[in-house]
Amino acid sequence: MTTEGHFLKTFADSDLVPARFGSGQAVHRLEDDALLTGVGQFTDDVTLEQETHLFFVRSPYPHARIAALDSTVALAMPGVLAIVTGADLVAAGVKAIPGIGGFLRADKSPCATPPRRALAHERVRFVGEPVAAVVALSLRLARDAAEAIIVDYDELPMVVDVNDAMAAGAPALCPEAPDNIAAETRYGDAAATTAAFAAARHIVKLDIVNQRLAALSLEPRSVLAGFDTASQRLTIRMSTQMPSGVRNSVCDALGIAKEAVRVIVGDVGGGFGMKTGAYPEDVSVAFCARKLQRAVKWVADRSEEFVSATHGRDLQSRAELALDESGKILALRLASLANVGAYPTGAGAAIQLLIGPWVQTSVYDIQTIDFHFRAVLTNTAPTSAYRGAGRPEAIFIMERLMDEAARQTGMDRLALRRRNFIQPAQMPYKNPMGQVYDSGRFESVMDQALLLADWPGFEARATASKQRGLMRGLGISTFLEWTGGNALEERVTLSVRADDGVIEVFSAVNAMGQGILTSLTQLVVDAFGVPPEKVRVVLGDTDRGDGFGSAGSRSLFTGGSAVRVGAERTIDKARQLAAKEFEAAEQDISYADGKFTVAGTDLAIDIFALAARQGEQRIFMESTTAVAGPSWPNGCHISEVEIDPQTGHVAVVAYASVNDVGRVVNPMIVRGQLDGGAVQGIGQALFEHLVYDRETGQPVTGSLMDYAAPRAGDTPPFLTEMDQSTPCLNNPLGVKGVGELGTIGAGPSVVNAVADALARAGLAAQSPHLQMPLSPSRLWGLIQAT
């Protein structure tokens, strides 16, 4: 259940003793009972007094000038309370939402982006951009009024393809970027790379597309802003991963103090990175609530999510690998164009210009690189974080190169990987992007995965498939990723409360379906040795504390570490209080299972009884902890596919993975994260593609009738194991981020399996032409092209 956006959980099951509930135990998620019985509380489940509803008028054009907007008729309609336009917001002093920053263009001028307003002002730059907000007494009335608003648009030339956008004479989205290049980065040593390629025995080249994707969170974006006239404060309930960040952005845009806004997060039906920052809609809802001084609610429908929520991926790359005669990689050259949309977000640009490159060389010992990345403006919705955020793109490029190198040189793909793996003796290892891997045993992880997948038994399975008229392929990806979001500090508060006999923990990491409440509770049980019914974890309230939130697989890695250290500090403080209570030396006080005892005596006191003797009836600790650096989880994912050559249909029939995620707090939750992530990776490999029409700029996959997503029947039986033999050295728990690992490993594993199936059928020449998604029509065309 939830109350005021806080996650609260009590327990009636006396069998849940600490030893059976602590770390390492696959206990059931504490969040699930409320969700399964229908008493969870999402934003749309909350109704406030005098609540109103907001509906957006959105641009039907990819690029146009707003010549005129007439809302006279709409404003006079029954139940309509307000209509707000971009001009109204500018007149009220509402600032533009910050976009890309910290990068440069080729001429060393600052990165360029059009100003992004909460409501479009003067120009619209993509289909679905909000133009006006209608607030009415009901959603139906708001919709009806929106249809009565007349907007006169003067269409402008548009461009949605990155290559078209960079062509001479292409329509520019802003004067500061006449070539539509918002920013670009170069890394490595171009001269050394050229020399390495000149000396190479083998050179492998691939053109690779990581297509644009929709996040498809089960719960759409939802915002409910209430206004208290007495305090003049806004309370915003919303579905977000980063409540503090959203609050800060809303306050900056509206020009109000942070103390004037509280953000509360209840249950969140998935985020996948799409709910990490403030959207224009969030600012508009907040503005309207302050203007009307009453509650305003907006819940996106699925069509709105397709056209206006941030998208993922959209990267075109030319990748080249140089190898010597023994298969040792000499150099890696990469040139990529990232379609960042009309208004590049800070995260969207950094993901492709910086974060992806951090892991580009992956688990391989490569030091000579030449990387060139450009962020390109187009008349499409902005891109930003989506599960993996740059790492799936980078690893897909690397793993496709590795398999293609093996195929073109005649080397065994496993032997090629062994030849180039970073070895444990090289740890800590600094890659050519300056990132330091603290730990990793990559060859060992691969060996375990080969055994789990029964790699040697594949030939017999391939023969059986061939007898049924099917082509069978075996694919592998060996890889790592970076986690932590480089937000390496976290604050928590812990309170041992005498009034209700619980240890209450507040953290600014956020629940969004990943089970973090359960994992944090397990850590508290570990530290205090109390039954789980004595623990209450509170999340999602900016009045209780600020923090980065949940992104970059940091919730347990950083947030869990803060809880662990905060719990230890709380016990140390309580031990001091117990020593005073017993008039004993502090070193003689022992703590176990919720009690303090004095060595050599029968003196003892329960920690809650000790709290009752304090002035505030509690023992309170505020604790801030920093981890030493990011974590580098890694894995080996192996998939098998069957292809029907008559239709081009691909079925993933087997999937095995071994994942080095450091210490595991809850194996069931970790497996769920790995397998769920793999399904999304399979979705990108085989099904998903968010498409804009090149001629009109219209999104043509704007609904689930057009956008293909993986279903339960498309998922294979997963064999998923964790290797805990190499704990992370950068945090006290030894854990490594896990939420995105499955997505990163699945895509290349599946596509490599398809390439392997083609090669076994004598179609190896088609392998370099494979592009995601491997739809039946696309694959059938490749098969028939021979």
3-state secondary structure of 43: helix
Q: Write down the pLDDT at residue 11.
A: 30
Closest CA relative to residue 742, chosen from 630, 634, 632: 634
The DSSP result for 68-120, as a single string, is EEE-HHHHTSTTEEEEEEHHHHHHTTPPPBP---S-B-TTSPBP--PPBPSS-
210: enclosing H helix or E strand: strand 202-213
Q: Write down the pLDDT at residue 444.
A: 98
Q: Write down the pLDDT at residue 19.
A: 59
Closest CA relative to residue 515, chosen from 717, 738, 724: 738
User: What is the DSSP secondary structure assignment for residue 421, as one 8-state letter?
Assistant: B
Decide: pTM greater than 0.85. yes
Q: Write down the pLDDT at residue 493.
A: 96
Q: How many CB atoms lie within 10 A of CB 525?
A: 26
Q: Within a 13 Å sphere around the CA of 216, how many CA atoms are in the beta-carbon half?
A: 19
What sign results for the dihedral spanned by CA atoms 656, 660, 661, 662? positive
Q: Domains in the chain, start-ordered, CATH in brackets?
A: 2-41+487-626 (3.30.365.10), 52-156+216-308 (3.90.1170.50), 388-483+630-781 (3.30.365.10)
Q: Write down the pLDDT at residue 24.
A: 87
Q: Write down the pLDDT at residue 318.
A: 98
Distances in Å between the Cα of 734 and the Cα atoms of 538, 594, 651 are 24, 25, 37
Average pLDDT, 10 consecutive residues per value, the chain (786 residues): 32 46 86 92 96 98 98 98 98 95 94 96 98 98 98 98 97 97 98 98 98 97 97 97 96 97 96 95 98 98 97 98 98 98 96 97 98 98 97 98 97 98 98 97 98 98 98 98 90 96 95 92 95 95 92 89 95 96 94 95 95 96 94 97 97 98 95 96 98 98 95 95 95 94 98 98 95 97 88
Alpha helices in 183-337 (DSSP H): 190-199, 243-254, 280-292, 302-308
| Contact criterion met (CB below 8 Å) for 402 and 416 | yes
Query: How is residue 784 written in tokens?
Result: 């028939």
Distance CA 346, CA 578 (A): 50
| Contact criterion met (CB below 8 Å) for 372 and 184 | yes
Question: Which residues are bridge partners to 606 per DSSP?
Answer: 595
| Contact criterion met (CB below 8 Å) for 553 and 355 | no
Residue 761 burial class via C-beta count within 10 angstroms: exposed 0-12, middle 13-18, buried 19 and up: middle
| Contact criterion met (CB below 8 Å) for 351 and 473 | no
| Contact criterion met (CB below 8 Å) for 82 and 288 | yes
